[in-house]
Chains A and B, each alone.
Chain A
Amino acid sequence: MTEQLRLAPTPAAEALSADAPAFPLGRGGDLDKHVRVDLLRQEKAIAKKYYAIGQAIRWKYVVATLLGFGLWVSLFPLTMLGIVPLWAAFIVSYLIATAGYVTAHEAMHSTIGRKGTKGWFWNELTGQLSMIPLMFPFSIARATHLQHHRFPNDPLRDPDYPDGAPNLRAALWKAWLNRQPGKTAQAHHIKKVMLEQVGTPEARRALKETALVQLAGTLFFIGMALAGYAMEIAMVWWLPRWLALIHTHVFFSWETHHPQTGRGRYDNTRIFKSSVGSFLSMWIEFHLVHHLYPNIPMHLTKKAYFEMKPVLEARGVDCSAH
């Protein structure tokens, strides 16, 4: 049925065909209800399969986080002792901070362990450690990300909405402006969404944690600089963090939801070719699969997408990028 739909000619041409259906079957919004239900069933079956695969290998995210965090911490003494050159530490730290968002992202969706299970401790540990290089508490990262999933592209309710920009150059500039201390800061929008839209005690606590973590982090930078390690801190934490924040906001947020017009299940994000390629975008090019089924681990969304592709095409989703 899916293949028939995918190849379905226009309704006018169908009327001339001998094996035309009794009523026209179009794409997307024109689909008959029974067809939509059937497509959803197929989608869910594929998602279930990849969720199970993800659950079997979820420990890999914990191991990756522990190794990455250990390596990141070790960069401080290694650069201070002159064992690792600063430029090398900068590259490694930038990659760890960027990849850390991906492992934290799995923890945000509790794919490593749900609350009340044995895996919960590892889920939370993965989330907390992964976000330290970005100097952004896991609590606010999770709260804002889950809110983003509820209201993608909503100007008032999506915390990621300020990442929007007309093109890549503007998105890079916006990512810089959004991290500035003044009125352009995305923090104001996040605070407003957390207080006025989410409004839970957890959201308030997450905001307080954010303020304290960023204060403590900045004081740590100053303390280390005054102790004579300004270059080491700049190259191991300050600059890589900046670059990683811009990377995550531009290539994980802006590019995935550009042009931020759709709010429906199948058009709030897209399938696209990343400006930085599959590896540096951490396979986020298949972001639609993630928004449809957030519990499929990010690195499996590519495989899940290719299996789901005929179903999505039948839905009317633009799958031309991959």
Chain B
Amino acid sequence: MELALRKLFYVMPFLFGIGFIAPLIAQTMAYWDVAAPFGMSRIAFGLMIGAPWGLYAMLRGRWI
């Protein structure tokens, strides 16, 4: 149980990046009526930022 929790906490920044940051970016763009570049959907654009950012935070141990 403790090991599973530890692993879950390790990958949590990545999950947060795709599960929270990505929809937050997409919904914020929709709120301000901003279109995603290159004909992408807003959520795809959000994932393009949220996923690597979360991965960076997971591997580096900090978001910035």
Binding site for B on A (CB under 8 A): 176-177, 180-185, 211, 215, 218, 221-222, 225-226, 228, 230-231, 233-234, 238
Contacts and interface: CB of A to CB of B under 8 A. Distances in A.
Contacts of A230: 20, 23-24, 26-28
Contact of B62 (A177, A228, A234, A238): A177
A181 B57 contact: yes
Contact of B19 (A180, A211, A225): A225
Given A222-B16, A230-B20, A211 B27 contact: no
A292 B9 CA distance: 39
B8 A181 contact: no
Interface residues of B, number: 22
A85 to B, nearest CB: 12
Contacts of B13: 181
Contacts of A222: 15-16, 19-20
Nearest to A211: B5
Given A211-B9, A215-B8, A218-B12, A180 B63 contact: yes
A231 B62 contact: no
A181 B58 contact: yes
Given A218-B12, A221-B16, A221-B20, A228 B27 contact: yes
A215 B9 contact: yes
